[in-house]
């Protein structure tokens, strides 16, 4: 059965912290890989490349899945329009502030090279904002918002699926979900839940293969809804926990298969449709398997709470907004240094983590206006904060 109104699911708090703070490590590693990122170090690391390639397919979907679970808890305690209004303040306001305040800084750091000055930085703000061109293609938000595209996509998906979320809260839907949870007692049955994802990828992946395009949007929408459904019925947890061997085996095999297909992508197979279908199947199994495996990790070893987790859980939205430009700034300083790959990576990751937390603590957490802009609730007593802690569990 679903958690009671005051019952917390602590591993969701801890998983959110782990995933969001792990994104800083991911972005800190990108300058040292062969990917086309904002900044690039001359020397590369195969190990860091493997790390980013492994995390890329499921990292952002995991954030959407956890956001779907968050929505289940939030909608238990407020009407739909109040929920949507809160999501607007929590997502769109930081998105707009980030595009105005942080995107020009990142553009300046990654376009002007080493010849930087304060007047040049100040001039970059109006120049960047004047250059923004809106379009109906979904990628434009990532082009101008950098990492903040996630907030815009999450709000748009929330708006679109909100009527369905309301339907899923009705008694008839709750009974159907409970029956579905009963059918998922065997771990393999959880993969039946991924059939909508498979259908969407078969329909869209070949036509919209680009990152953040419609095939990816379908993935994000599905895992958001999956997080909502899985959080609404605690009996799903037994199947997820009991299926770790299947999840890991399917995750490894499908990841290898996707890697092989990507390596062979330039060979132009005779039947492109067969390749697209194979890729869609492997992609679906890969994403779903690693999501289930990470959930299992959270259920088994992250089901705890303390003051540190409460503090970090409250920080995750400001941390996510702030960390990317900090990583870009630190990397722009560290990359020219005469050091090896690993000392540079350690400097970028460690310095970016420290600076981001200092900015959050000194310039965001303590000030009412900054808290409002970054989507945080007004400051409350520590004990009450531990009960709210940004997961939406109320």
* pLDDT range class, residue 270, cuts 50, 70, 90: low
**Higher pLDDT residue, 26 or 213?**
26
> What average pLDDT does range 2-20 have in this prediction?
78
The rounded radius of gyration (Å) of the Cα atoms in the chain is 21
- Residue 7: is its pLDDT beyond 80? no
The per-residue pLDDT for range 21-73, each reduced to its tens digit, is: 999 999 999 999 998 898 999 999 999 999 999 999 999 999 999 999 999 99
The per-residue pLDDT for range 300-324, each reduced to its tens digit, is: 998 888 899 999 999 999 999 999 9
Which pLDDT does position 138 carry in this prediction? 74
Angle at 25 between CA 41 and CA 114, to 5 degrees: 35
- Is 364 inside a domain boundary? yes
* pLDDT range class, residue 77, cuts 50, 70, 90: confident
Q: How many folded domains does the chain comprise?
A: 1
- Residue 358: is its pLDDT beyond 80? yes
User: Which residue, chain included where needed, has tokens 């748009």?
Assistant: 156
- Residue 136: is its pLDDT beyond 60? yes
> What average pLDDT does range 125-153 have in this prediction?
83
- Is 23 inside a domain boundary? yes
CA 130/CA 128 separation, integer angstroms: 5
Beta-carbon contacts of 235 under 8 Å, excluding residues fewer than 6 positions away, are: 1, 178, 181, 182, 184
- Is 371 inside a domain boundary? yes
- Is 262 inside a domain boundary? no
CA 364/CA 180 separation, integer angstroms: 43
Q: Do 378 and 386 form a contact (C-beta atoms < 8 A)?
A: no
Which domain does 7 fall in, by range?
A: 1-44+305-394
CB atoms within 10 A of CB 361: 13
Q: Do 72 and 5 form a contact (C-beta atoms < 8 A)?
A: no
Nearest to 175 by CA among 237, 231, 233, 255: 233
- Is 119 inside a domain boundary? no
- Is 219 inside a domain boundary? no
- Is 24 inside a domain boundary? yes
- Is 7 inside a domain boundary? yes
């Amino acid at each position: 059965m679903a958690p009671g109104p005051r019952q917390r699911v602590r591993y969701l708090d801890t998983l959110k912290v782990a995933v969001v703070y792990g994104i800083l490590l991911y972005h800190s590693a990108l300058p040292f890989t062969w990917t086309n990122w904002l900044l690039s170090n001359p020397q590369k690391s195969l190990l860091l490349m493997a790390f980013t390639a492994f995390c890329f397919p499921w990292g952002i979907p995991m954030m959407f899945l956890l956001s779907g679970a968050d929505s289940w808890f939030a909608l238990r305690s407020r009407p739909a329009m109040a929920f949507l209004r809160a999501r607007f303040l929590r997502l769109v306001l930081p998105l707009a502030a980030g595009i105005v305040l942080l995107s020009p800084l990142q553009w300046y750091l990654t376009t002007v090279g080493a010849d930087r000055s304060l007047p040049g930085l100040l001039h970059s703000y109006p120049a960047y904002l004047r250059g923004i061109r809106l379009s109906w293609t979904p990628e434009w938000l990532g082009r101008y918002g950098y990492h903040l595209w996630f907030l815009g996509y999450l709000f748009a998906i929330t708006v679109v699926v909100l009527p369905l979320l309301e339907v899923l809260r009705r008694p008839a839907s709750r009974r159907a979900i409970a029956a579905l949870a009963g059918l998922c007692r065997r771990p393999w049955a959880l993969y039946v839940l991924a059939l909508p994802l498979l259908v969407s990828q078969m329909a869209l992946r070949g036509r919209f293969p680009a990152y953040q395009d419609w095939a990816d949007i379908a993935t994000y929408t599905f895992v958001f809804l999956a997080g909502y459904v899985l959080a609404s019925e605690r009996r799903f947890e037994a199947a997820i926990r009991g299926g770790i061997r299947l999840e890991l085996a399917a995750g490894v095999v499908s990841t290898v298969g996707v890697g092989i297909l990507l390596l062979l992508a330039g060979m132009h197979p005779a039947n492109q449709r067969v390749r697209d279908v194979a890729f869609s199947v492997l992609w679906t199994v890969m994403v779903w398997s690693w999501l289930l495996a990470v959930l299992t990790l959270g259920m088994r070893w992250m089901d705890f709470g303390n003051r540190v987790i409460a503090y970090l859980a409250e920080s995750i939205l400001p941390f996510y907004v702030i960390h990317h430009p900090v990583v870009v700034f630190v990397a722009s300083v560290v990359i020219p240094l005469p050091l090896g790959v690993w000392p540079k990576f350690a400097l970028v990751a460690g310095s970016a983590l420290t600076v981001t937390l200092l900015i959050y603590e000194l310039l965001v957490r303590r000030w009412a206006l900054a808290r409002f802009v970054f989507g945080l609730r007004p400051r409350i007593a520590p004990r009450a904060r531990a009960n709210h802690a940004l997961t939406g569990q109320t």
